Structure 1
């Protein structure tokens, strides 16, 4: 841990709320926050003179289906003043809304739309929470671990009807039995000429 990271860690430890916890990973401070204190925490990180994390780099999501709060929302910030990055993590479930930070960082609107589109997490306070990367009428959220690889529908343009058609997924081959045995190990049929192998082996022994 560098001296600057140590100083920043000590400063944050004495100022953030009890609902937040700090740790250091690879010389980068990571704060785990509760939803109730998220906005106050991020506002502090942005406006405090010893922090000045006033650049939002990204907001991303992670899915842990085995957990009650399966989604982890990760905020990445940069401070040019202290030359440090910081991460803020928040756990949530499928039903609970996450406070939007668009009032603090207007660019967050794009990142929140992406997380909503790919994971289905709702951000309360974001008035433009439309899908961003998937198509109109897309069903489901493709970065959830339980999302099927085939998706739920197939989309194609029908020349006769002159419109886009949505259909259930139809696999041309629903079941395939893969045989990973080497073709030489798995071959039982005797090829022409193989019968001479044993004869030659006997002749070698007799010689």
Structure 2
């Protein structure tokens, strides 16, 4: 089966852009072909482009130790279309795919263990999405009365404050300690030698 991809080069690193349906055959080829031998999966991460129809890029970073080369494989998806899991090719992908799902919400088809890694189990949303609110949805704090950690909706409480944006140092003509500074310069021996020369 022919694999559909496009390639480009960033510096010394080759980048392959592949469709979701061609991802698994390409990854198997990259790992198993003796002339390629990309035996190590170094990382799987995500990139969010909210203005694109398929807003997420899933980026796979591969390493060939025998050829001393790195390769980046990129595929795109949206929030609904799953990306095939490559855990059957590289078992270490399970951790990286869980992390990508937790941070971006990218669903991986065939991933047996889809639990949160970096956020709490009750966490709502995916923090690395560009449209995720900066303050989040809930906050956690220790409640002494309940004797446990509780989650509450975020409350941004700030009392009324009056800012004049004027530095207190601008209004002062003399600073504390100025009375100790001698205005007359004290002559040093090395200055006298320079005057004679």
Fold match by TM threshold 0.5: yes
Deviations 1:7-35 (A, max 9, x none): xxxxxxxx962x21111111111000000
What is the aligned partner in structure 1 of residue 189 from structure 2? none
Correspondence 1:136 to 2:121: yes
Aligned residue for 1:45, secondary structure, equals helix
What is the aligned partner in structure 1 of residue 38 from structure 2? 53
What is the aligned partner in structure 2 of residue 114 from structure 1? 99
Correspondence 1:151 to 2:104: no
Deviations 1:27-57 (A, max 9, x none): 1110000000000000000000110001000
Q: Considering fraction of residues, name the structure with more helix.
A: 1
Give 1:174 deviation, angstroms. Answer: 8.3
**CA spacing shift, 1:134–1:146, aligned 2, 3 Å:** same
What is the aligned partner in structure 2 of residue 161 from structure 1? 146
Residue in structure 1 matching 2:63, options 78, 85, 89: 78
Q: Distance in 1 between matches of 2:107 and 2:161?
A: 39
Q: Distance in 1 between matches of 2:31 and 2:70?
A: 12
Deviations 1:108-165 (A, max 9, x none): 0000000000001110111101100111211111000111111100112222122332
Aligned residue for 1:82, secondary structure, equals coil
Q: TM-score, normalised by structure 1?
A: 0.76
Q: Distance in 2 between matches of 1:124 and 1:81?
A: 31
Q: Distance in 2 between matches of 1:125 and 1:138?
A: 23
Aligned residue for 1:167, secondary structure, equals strand
Q: How does 1:26-65 map to 2 (within 5 A)?
A: 26-65=11-50
Q: TM-score, normalised by structure 2?
A: 0.80
| Cα RMSD (Å) | 2.6
Residue in structure 2 matching 1:93, options 71, 78, 81: 78
Q: Distance in 1 between matches of 2:99 and 2:122?
A: 16
Q: Distance in 2 between matches of 1:178 and 1:33?
A: 54
Aligned residues: 174
